[in-house]
Amino acid sequence: FDGNYFQLPASCNYILTSHCSASYEDFNIQLRHQVVNNEATISKVTMKLQGTVIELTKGSLSVNGQIVTLPFSSSGVFIEKMTSYISVKAVLGLVAMWNEDDSFMVKLDEKYKNQTCGLCGDFNGIQVYNEFISDGNTLSVSDYGNLWKMDGPTEVCKEDTVPLEENCGDENFCHDIFSSSVFNDCRGRVSIDSFVQVCMKDLCHCNGTSGSFCLCKSIGEYSRQCVHAGGKPEEWRSEYFCPHPCPESMIHQECGNPCTDTCTNPEIGQVCEHHCIDGCFCPPGTVFDDIHNTGCIPHSECSCVLGGKIFASGENYTSSCRDCTCEQGQWNCIQKDCPHSCSVEGGSHITSYDGKAYTFHGDCTYVLSKVCTSLCTEFTVQGDLVKCGVTETETCLKSVTLALLDGTNVSPKMDWKRKLNIPLSISNLKHFQTENIP
Ligand SMILES: [Ca+2]
């Protein structure tokens, strides 16, 4: 938290940070290192956030022992997958991000200043106090690491015996790397001193070659810290220098928008509240195809989904009420004239034009339907509901009256059944006795 950069090459489980100066521990974050194919990675992160236990491993996530899928939200904890990172937010004032590989970041609210311990230090604003210099004593990195090692119940983890204090590189060479013009915007935001020290140690692992490989992790971390401090490093990776592989159709960026525009959410990047992050992103002008999950495509090629079926861009579907075309992942619809019906059944069961069914026991003449929007009423349908049994709830539709504006005859033999369909094509004023209505 205080800006010190150091290197701890070990495959143990460590307390990264915990809330240790209060009687109740708001948070405790532990992470386990692992070396896979000579590459250091983080294999597991365990977070206790106000009693909620979150366990993150590559490709799997559990909360209080239950496997969950993302996005997840419960008990003041919100976990989501963003471009290249899994983000865990806790209302207590903590945001953590893991790239499911070698980078884990935790950002704490100011209220925890001077109240934390673990590898991240005491958050007192002073770089080496009380981490590597405490009560007048100086601690080596491995001593400091040992302080925060947390073995599992049946585990005795030994740190690798790498000569931590050895320097192999030239200080000026390392200084030049972090002072390079691609990091101009980082100057004054992140101190390069501790990065230069680690760089000199890194060079012990370069096997005397001029290859840049052994420095990529440190330069990558400097770049991330710069972004975290509000800077914008230029793209310093290339095909030949610390290349960062990305899935096909994606590109690597040091400072990209973590909220990915997708086919179903094409403008989320514009309302993103997170600062930029490094990782693989869709190139400008494209969005992530979250329908086929195949990569980045131009927005115009996005498919649409309806009732679980996928429609390609430009495909149509037609229903009784509208004609729709899939355009840029959205349905563009033209409304059609669309007949709906309203019915009275059994003398008391009414179903409205919009499908709402209800029961009403009347004993009077009622307006079943009329035009309300124009001054001249084009039609009115009235129904006489009367009691027709021994109990209050036995009612019948005794007669229906259709009142229209002009005087064309309507056949009384017209099959009314129990439904009246609109729009009506008759224009008349007529009264029916509804013998044929039960
Ligand atoms: Ca400190």
Is residue 24 located within the same domain as residue 136? yes
Is residue 91 located within the same domain as residue 206? no
Residue 225: in which H helix or E strand, if any? helix 216-228
Look at residue 419 in the predicted model and tell me its pLDDT. Answer: 40
Look at residue 273 in the predicted model and tell me its pLDDT. Answer: 77
**CA pair distance 44, 33, nearest whole angstrom:** 7
Query: Does 329 score more than 80 pLDDT?
Result: yes
Ligand 1 centroid–CA 408 distance in Å is: 94
Is residue 19 located within the same domain as residue 126? yes
pLDDT tens digits, one per residue of 77-86: 999 988 788 9
- Domain membership flag for residue 56: yes
Is residue 263 located within the same domain as residue 365? no
Look at residue 88 in the predicted model and tell me its pLDDT. Answer: 94
Is residue 310 located within the same domain as residue 294? no
Ligand 1 centroid–CA 120 distance in Å is: 9
Domain total in the chain: 5
Query: Does 432 score more than 50 pLDDT?
Result: no
Ligand 1 centroid–CA 13 distance in Å is: 22
Ligand 1 centroid–CA 293 distance in Å is: 44
Ligand 1 centroid–CA 198 distance in Å is: 18
Look-up of token digits 């960062």: 244
What global pTM score does this model have?
0.65
Look-up of token digits 């070659």: 209
* Mean pLDDT value across residues 231-240: 89
Ligand 1 centroid–CA 135 distance in Å is: 13
Q: What percentage of the chain carries pLDDT values higher than 70?
A: 88
Is residue 348 located within the same domain as residue 404? yes
- Domain membership flag for residue 35: yes
Is residue 322 located within the same domain as residue 257? no
Ligand 1 centroid–CA 129 distance in Å is: 5
Ligand 1 centroid–CA 136 distance in Å is: 14
241, 278, 284 from 182: Cα distances, Å: 13, 15, 21
Ligand 1 centroid–CA 139 distance in Å is: 13
Query: Does 299 score more than 70 pLDDT?
Result: yes
Is residue 203 located within the same domain as residue 268? no
CA 299 to chain centre: 19
- Domain membership flag for residue 153: no
* Residue 149 DSSP label: B
Query: Does 128 score more than 50 pLDDT?
Result: yes
pLDDT tens digits, one per residue of 63-115: 999 999 988 999 899 999 887 889 999 999 999 999 888 889 999 999 999 99
Ligand 1 centroid–CA 26 distance in Å is: 20
Torsion sign (Cα): 224, 227, 231, 235 = positive
**CA pair distance 409, 121, nearest whole angstrom:** 93
Range of the domain at 201: 171-228
Query: Does 433 score more than 50 pLDDT?
Result: no
Is residue 90 located within the same domain as residue 136? yes
> Which residues have C-beta within 8 Å of that of residue 369, sequence separation ≥ 6?
342, 353, 379, 380, 381, 420, 422
Is residue 324 located within the same domain as residue 296? no
Ligand 1 centroid–CA 114 distance in Å is: 8
Ligand 1 centroid–CA 1 distance in Å is: 7
- Domain membership flag for residue 164: no
Query: Does 410 score more than 50 pLDDT?
Result: no
Ligand 1 centroid–CA 219 distance in Å is: 23
* Residue 434 DSSP label: -
Ligand 1 centroid–CA 51 distance in Å is: 27
Look-up of token digits 């009560």: 135
* Mean pLDDT value across residues 126-145: 87
Ligand 1 centroid–CA 194 distance in Å is: 14
CATH number at residue 260: 2.10.25
Query: Does 18 score more than 50 pLDDT?
Result: yes
Query: Does 172 score more than 50 pLDDT?
Result: yes
Ligand 1 centroid–CA 8 distance in Å is: 17
What pLDDT band is residue 425 in, cutting at 50, 70 and 90?
very low
Is residue 110 located within the same domain as residue 220? no
Ion ligand 1 neighbours (CB, 5 A) are: 2, 121-122, 124, 126
Of 21 and 60, the one with more pLDDT: 60
**CA pair distance 412, 402, nearest whole angstrom:** 11
Query: Does 424 score more than 50 pLDDT?
Result: no
* Mean pLDDT value across residues 133-152: 88
Q: Are the beta carbons of 268 and 244 closer than 8 angstroms?
A: no
Ligand 1 centroid–CA 144 distance in Å is: 13
Look at residue 319 in the predicted model and tell me its pLDDT. Answer: 81
pLDDT tens digits, one per residue of 330-347: 999 988 877 778 888 888
Ligand 1 centroid–CA 117 distance in Å is: 9
**CA pair distance 244, 235, nearest whole angstrom:** 11
Is residue 36 located within the same domain as residue 139? yes
Ligand 1 centroid–CA 133 distance in Å is: 9
- Domain membership flag for residue 242: no
pLDDT tens digits, one per residue of 173-210: 999 999 999 999 999 898 898 899 888 888 877 765 54
Of 411 and 242, the one with more pLDDT: 242
Look at residue 78 in the predicted model and tell me its pLDDT. Answer: 94
- Domain membership flag for residue 48: yes
- Domain membership flag for residue 2: no
Ligand 1 centroid–CA 199 distance in Å is: 22
- Domain membership flag for residue 318: yes
39 token code pair: 């590459």
